[in-house]
């Protein structure tokens, strides 16, 4: 259920990504991988994004624009809190091109998703931020976000994921 299809204010606009935006999304994802020095982990393909975002609808993406030019993106999906008994939204990535930073694009993207979360009756909005990314940490805390230092994120990928799945007792 998508509420507003876009939001526009002054020079900034946010809109839902469409299938024809896949090449642009890949550019943004590559830019994020470069910023985070994680290009060795960048394996996304146009086919995979198109299938997962627009056919299977496993996640959603929004594009932030500045004066009509694509400036950044955010990719997010729904989670569920058993304690709250409500859905939530998890922002997997939020990225603004370096030359577009400081123009309110990141804020517009975050606010757009927060508005969606409220409209969709979500109990929380969450994301992760690399510990070294001080500019982003300051950006998020200025908007009321608090780090959850009592939680540690765990991840299983690649061969370990395959082994874990193959060792299933079911």
- Residues annotated as catalytic are 140
Give the E-state strand segments of 67-157 in sequence order. 69-81, 86-96, 124-127
Contact 88, 78 (CB under 8 A): yes
Gyration radius of the chain over CA positions: 17
- Which residues, listed in sequence order, are joined to residue 78 by a DSSP beta bridge? 89
Beta bridge partners of 16: 62
3-state secondary structure of 51: helix
User: What CA dihedral angle connects 52, 154, 122 and 3, to 10 degrees?
Assistant: -20
Give CA separation, 119 vs 3, 38, 68, 106, in Å: 7, 34, 26, 20
Phi/psi of residue 29, nearest 5 degrees:
-65, -40
């Amino acid at each position: 259920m998508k509420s507003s299809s876009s939001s526009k204010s002054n020079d900034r606009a946010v809109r839902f990504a469409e299938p024809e935006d896949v090449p642009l999304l890949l550019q943004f994802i590559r830019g994020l991988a470069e910023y985070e020095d994680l290009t060795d982990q960048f394996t996304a393909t146009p086919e995979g994004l198109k299938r997962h975002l627009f056919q299977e609808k496993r996640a959603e993406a929004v594009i932030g624009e500045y004066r009509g030019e694509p400036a950044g993106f955010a990719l997010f999906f729904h989670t569920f809190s058993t304690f709250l008994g409500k859905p939530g939204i998890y922002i997997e990535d939020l990225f603004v091109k370096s030359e577009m930073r400081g123009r309110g694009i990141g804020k517009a993207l975050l606010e757009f998703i927060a508005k969606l979360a409220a409209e969709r009756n979500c109990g929380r909005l969450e994301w992760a931020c690399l510990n070294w990314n001080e500019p982003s940490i300051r950006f998020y805390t200025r908007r009321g976000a608090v780090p959850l230092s009592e939680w540690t994120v765990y991840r299983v990928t690649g061969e370990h994921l395959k082994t874990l799945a193959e060792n299933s007792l079911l």
